[in-house]
Amino acid sequence: MMEVLPPVRLEDFDYELPPERIAQHPLPERDRCRLLVADHRRRQLAHHIFAELPQLVPAPSLLVRNITRVVHARLFLRKPTGGLVELLLLAPTSGSADAAFGATPPVEWECLLRGRRLRPGTVLSVEADGLRLHAVLHEVSHGIARLRFEWDPPDMTLAELLEHLGHVPLPPYVRRSDQPADRQHYQTVYARIPSSVAAPTAGLHFTERLLRELEHAGIGFADVCLHIGLDTFKPVRAADARFHRMHSEALMVPRETLEILLHFLRSPERRWLVAIGTTSVRTLESLYWHGVRLLRREPSVWDSPHLQVGQWDAYRLQTTALPPAAEALEAIGEWLGHHRLGRIEGTTELMILPGYQYQLCDALITNFHQPRSTLLLLIAALIGDFWREVYAEALAQGYRFLSYGDASLLISERAR
């Protein structure tokens, strides 16, 4: 893909983020955070609060939200000697994350491990509230370990157990231990499927009241699920982003959501398709490229019951004439029928860089992201170099950054 994409120098996507601007705690009221509205069509900026969103998004628009639920995947266990070991569940050794979190013992997981003198065969344990968890260390290499978990009572799922014994896996730039309040604050009000070790943070600003007000204003909703792993915080080491290896994430989209999207895209009165967060963007855009590959009758794609989008598929495909979004999604509907499936499941490695052509998303609700990150590159692909004005204004006006920080509404030139 090097011949298709021009160089993407990370130094061009850098800015100075003072540590004191990184929010360490959420606001007491979710929807009272500040909202910077950036309209790329007119290169205009406006300051609002998040609760004013129903007056800022025109009807009829559609908001797409990620309904993944953060699992309390950080654990503190003891060795037989009494030494403390910290671990973070990364991924099951087999099957999907949501299935593994819903499983009963025994289960095997790859974990990020922090502790001393840990060898294969070491037994780790923790006990609280009448619950007991044991983990046997099978392999360990460079801080990543494979562990086999068993617990009592055995009829409890892993997700249920972690609700009691686990800790909230706050991002590495939140420089404090998790607190009881984080169990509520670091979770969207519409979270449903336990599958992530990080929150889709743009969704943290929504309240039940705000969701009702948006519906009353003629704004619709569609649900997707992308399982967010620890790699979402992985820094870009390469000087040229084209040489960065993008992480893979599992996604699930119900057939009902596909039908909602198709109905919206076919409507002549429709306004904006708004992604709530970068994970929703990645899911929506991955759907489109899967549909394009189905339309081209790529045998490996049509015959497989699973979606799989590679890091560079979009750039390979966008060198030729592309179908409308509705046509691509219709192909997915046919594919679901062929395989007698009720939902789309699969993985995506899609990397959105400047030069990417958005196919579904007209606008994006998102927090303010780290410099030199893949998330900032995704934003630059949506609003071009206007991102510099947006971030300069946010810094100048005292906005709070990153997961527990303030939000932005980015309106692309695609918006009608």
Question: Are 229 and 324 part of one and the same domain?
Answer: yes
More confident of the two residues 184 and 97? 184
Residue 300 belongs to a domain with what CATH number? Answer: 3.40.1780.10
Question: Are 369 and 263 part of one and the same domain?
Answer: yes
pLDDT above 60 (res 54) = yes
pLDDT band at 257 (very low <50, low <70, confident <90, very high): very high
pLDDT band at 396 (very low <50, low <70, confident <90, very high): very high
Structural domain boundaries, residue 84: 73-167
More confident of the two residues 315 and 233? 315
Question: Are 261 and 355 part of one and the same domain?
Answer: yes
Q: Which of 43-47, 134-138, 197-201 has the highest mean pLDDT?
A: 43-47
pLDDT band at 112 (very low <50, low <70, confident <90, very high): confident
Write the pLDDT tens digit of every residue in 64-75.
999 999 999 999
How many domains, in total, are found in the chain? Answer: 2
Q: Answer yes or no: is 188 within a domain.
A: no
| Per-residue confidence (pLDDT) for residue 1, from 0 to 100 | 57
| Per-residue confidence (pLDDT) for residue 75, from 0 to 100 | 94
pLDDT band at 3 (very low <50, low <70, confident <90, very high): low
Q: What is the mean pLDDT of residues 75-83?
A: 91
Write the pLDDT tens digit of every residue in 185-243.
999 999 999 989 999 999 999 999 999 999 999 999 999 999 998 777 778 889 999 99
Question: Are 268 and 148 part of one and the same domain?
Answer: no
**Sequence-ordered list of residues with C-beta below 8 angstroms from that of 73, at least 6 positions apart, any chain:** 88, 89, 162, 166, 169, 197
Q: Which of 68-82, 115-129, 330-344 has the highest mean pLDDT?
A: 330-344
**Torsions phi, psi for 233 (to 5 deg):** -95, 5
DSSP string, 304-328: -SSEEE-TTHHHHHTTS----HHHH
| Per-residue confidence (pLDDT) for residue 117, from 0 to 100 | 78
Write the pLDDT tens digit of every residue in 19-38.
999 999 999 999 999 999 99
Write the pLDDT tens digit of every residue in 333-355.
999 999 999 999 999 999 999 99
Question: Are 81 and 58 part of one and the same domain?
Answer: no
Beta-ladder partners of 132: 127, 152
Q: What is the mean pLDDT of residues 375-393?
A: 98
Q: What is the mean pLDDT of residues 114-122?
A: 83
pLDDT above 90 (res 328) = yes
Beta-ladder partners of 155: none
Q: Answer yes or no: is 186 within a domain.
A: no
Question: Are 134 and 234 part of one and the same domain?
Answer: no
Of the residues 124, 148, 167, the one at which a domain ends: 167
Question: Are 124 and 242 part of one and the same domain?
Answer: no
More confident of the two residues 312 and 97? 312
pLDDT above 90 (res 90) = no
Q: What is the mean pLDDT of residues 383-399?
A: 98
